[in-house]
């Protein structure tokens, strides 16, 4: 076994179609060169990535380029991760889960999650069925204001995680653990075994419904929460040394991040102030972790502050470990979104410079 820094973190920028024909554009995608030009004042800038998807790229085509190779790696025992970053309404949820997900038959607007399920369980009998023995489970959580909410549990069991307006609520908080064998996991989180697309889609729907009910009942703003759907795979593989078999664990995290826009100060009153602060904390710490990882990739010794927020701790394996990770940064092309779009392009550019450690198994 040897360790190497490799380019396992890839970045795609996806441009959302322009909503109103009247709007002026501030960016042009140059997909053939994997570049984006952003027209600014006083100067224009060009950023390059591993992939640039303009508005003509379909859900199916994006899946084939980005997620399908990760699904294969996951089945082969690698940790994999996809996360969507961008301002509210730039297309994160459209990309991650898509629309029409109440049908378990594949639809054109289905996003990455339903397509991952299709490949694992349905397409040509399902990739997982190539494994002799396996157990695949699914969990689904939301991080809101540094609290973890289990989306597979009924929202009636969720107590208010936020002390809004000075009322002290009881926490429904779950803790994250770092285990030598299992890696990062959330203690007490519900994990349901899945063997079919139908069951997996049912769990996706349940989680989305619980998220909606919880946010309505508790008056939460869902654009300020991060949702994490994880598939956990345990497969039995032959142990060459002993002739017996051993377990191999892998995890696939699919993450829809909170809107990356700066919180408006008018919202920052009472309980809302704390909410905005914590959401910023999660995304700010993510930014700090990324900067530290970039330094580390350049050979500078750095402490990586994974544990400073729930989100970065949960992403520890995905960003710094033996994981294949794809960031999809979503941007709106309208002139009015210039500042947020530029900030997203810069974040995505930093992430492109992260190289994580690959354990090369020379069996
Ligand atoms: P976010 O999750 O970032 O807040 P959404 O995914 O909800 O944003 O997208 C906002 C709106 O834009 C939705 O109505 C969605 O259907 C539409 N949209 C986003 N991206 C695309 C795309 N690539 N193609 C077509 N419609 C899109
Ligand atoms: Mg969304």
The 10 Å Cβ neighbour count of residue 149 is: 27
Whole-number pLDDT of residue 5: 54
- The whole-number mean pLDDT for each consecutive block of 10 residues of the chain, a chain of 363 residues, reads 64 92 86 93 90 97 97 93 95 97 93 98 91 93 91 74 39 79 88 97 95 81 90 88 86 94 58 60 87 86 91 87 89 93 94 65 36
Model pLDDT, residue 272: 59
**Which distant-in-sequence residues (6+ apart) come within 8 Å of 241 by Cβ?**
none
How many residues belong to the chain? 363
Residue 162 buriedness (CB in 10 A; 0-12 / 13-18 / 19+): buried
pLDDT tens digits, 183-242? 889 999 999 999 999 999 999 999 999 988 888 877 777 788 999 999 999 998 778 888
Residue 203's contacts (CB-CB under 8 Å, 6 or more residues apart) are: 138, 140, 152, 192, 194
Q: Is the ipTM of this complex over 0.95?
A: yes
The Cα–Cα gap between 107 and 3 comes to: 41
Strand partners, 57: none
Task: State residue 287 phi and psi, 5-degree precision.
Answer: -60, -45
What gap in Å lies between CA 335 and CA 38, rounded to an integer?
10
Q: Which residue, by CA, sits nearest to atom 19 of ligand 1?
A: 91
Burial of 167 by CB count in 10 Å (0-12 exposed, 13-18 middle, 19+ buried)?
Answer: exposed
Q: Give the span between the Cα atoms of 255 and 229, in whole angstroms.
A: 6
For residue 19, the ligand 1 atom closest to its alpha carbon is: 12
Distance 93 CA to ligand 1 centre (A): 7
Q: What is the pLDDT of residue 193?
A: 98
Q: What residue owns the CA closest to ligand 1's atom 5?
A: 91
CATH of 2-360, one of 3.40.250.10, 3.90.78.10, 3.30.70.1520, 3.40.850.10: 3.40.850.10
175 touches 147 (CB < 8 A): no
- Smallest CA separation from ligand 1 atom 11, residue: 89
> What pLDDT score was predicted for residue 19?
79
**Pair of tokens at residue 21:** 């024909």
Q: How far is the CA of 178 from the centre of ligand 1 (A)?
A: 34
**62 Cβ partners below 8 Å, 6+ apart?**
12, 14, 53, 95, 112
Ligand nearest to the CA of 92: 1
Distance 100 CA to ligand 2 centre (A): 15
Pocket of ligand 1 (CB under 6 A): 16-17, 86, 88-94, 99, 223, 330
Give the residue among 82, 189, 212 at the shortest CA–CA distance from 140: 189
Handedness of CA 176, 159, 143, 69 (dihedral sign): positive
> Which pLDDT value is given to residue 265?
44
* pLDDT at residue 217, rounded to an integer: 79
Q: Give residue 221's pLDDT.
A: 79
Name the closest-CA residue to atom 18, ligand 1: 91
Closest ligand 1 atom to the C-alpha of 14? 23
Residue nearest to atom 17 of ligand 1 (CA): 91
Neighbours of 105 (CB within 10 A): 12
Q: Which atom of ligand 1 is nearest to the CA of 96?
A: 6
What atom of ligand 1 comes closest to residue 90's alpha carbon? 3
Domain ranges of the chain: 2-360
Distance CA 44, CA 32 (A): 19
**Residues lying with their CB under 5 A of ligand 2, a single-atom ion:** 92-93
How far, in Å, from the CA of 330 to the mean position of ligand 1? 9
């Amino acid at each position: 076994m040897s360790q190497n820094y490799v380019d396992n973190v890839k970045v795609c920028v996806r441009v959302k179609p322009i909503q109103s024909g009247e709007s002026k554009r501030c960016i042009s995608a140059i997909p053939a060169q994997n570049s984006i030009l952003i027209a600014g004042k006083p100067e224009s800038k060009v950023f390059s990535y591993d992939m640039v998807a303009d508005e003509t790229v379909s859900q199916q085509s994006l899946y084939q380029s980005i997620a399908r190779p990760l699904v294969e790696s996951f089945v082969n025992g690698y940790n994999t991760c996809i996360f969507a970053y961008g301002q509210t309404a730039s297309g994160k949820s459209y990309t991650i889960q898509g629309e029409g997900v109440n049908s378990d038959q594949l639809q054109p607007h289905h996003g990455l999650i339903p397509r991952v399920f299709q490949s694992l369980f349905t397409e040509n009998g399902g990739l997982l069925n190539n494994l002799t023995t396996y157990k695949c489970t699914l969990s689904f959580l939301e991080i809101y204001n540094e609290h973890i909410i289990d989306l597979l549990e009924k929202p009636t069991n969720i107590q208010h995680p936020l002390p809004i307006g000075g009322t002290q609520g009881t926490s429904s908080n779950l803790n994250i653990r770092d285990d030598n064998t299992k890696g990062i996991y959330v203690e007490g989180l519900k994990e349901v075994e899945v063997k079919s697309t139908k069951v997996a889609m049912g769990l996706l729907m349940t989680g989305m419904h619980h998220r909606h009910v919880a946010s309505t009942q508790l008056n939460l703003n869902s654009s300020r929460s991060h949702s994490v759907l994880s598939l956990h795979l345990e497969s039995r593989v032959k142990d060459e040394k002993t002739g017996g078999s051993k377990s191999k664990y892998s995890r696939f995290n699919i993450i829809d991040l909170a809107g990356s826009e700066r919180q408006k100060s008018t919202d920052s009153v009472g309980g809302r102030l704390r909410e905005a602060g914590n959401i910023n904390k999660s995304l700010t710490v993510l930014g700090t972790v990324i900067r530290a990882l970039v330094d580390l990739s350049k050979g500078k010794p750095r402490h990586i502050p994974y544990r400073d927020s729930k989100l970065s701790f949960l992403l520890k394996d995905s960003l710094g470990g033996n994981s294949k990770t794809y960031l999809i940064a979503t941007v709106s092309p309208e002139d009015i979104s210039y500042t947020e779009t530029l900030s997203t392009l810069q974040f995505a550019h930093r992430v492109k410079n992260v190289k994580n450690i690959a354990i090369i198994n020379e069996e």
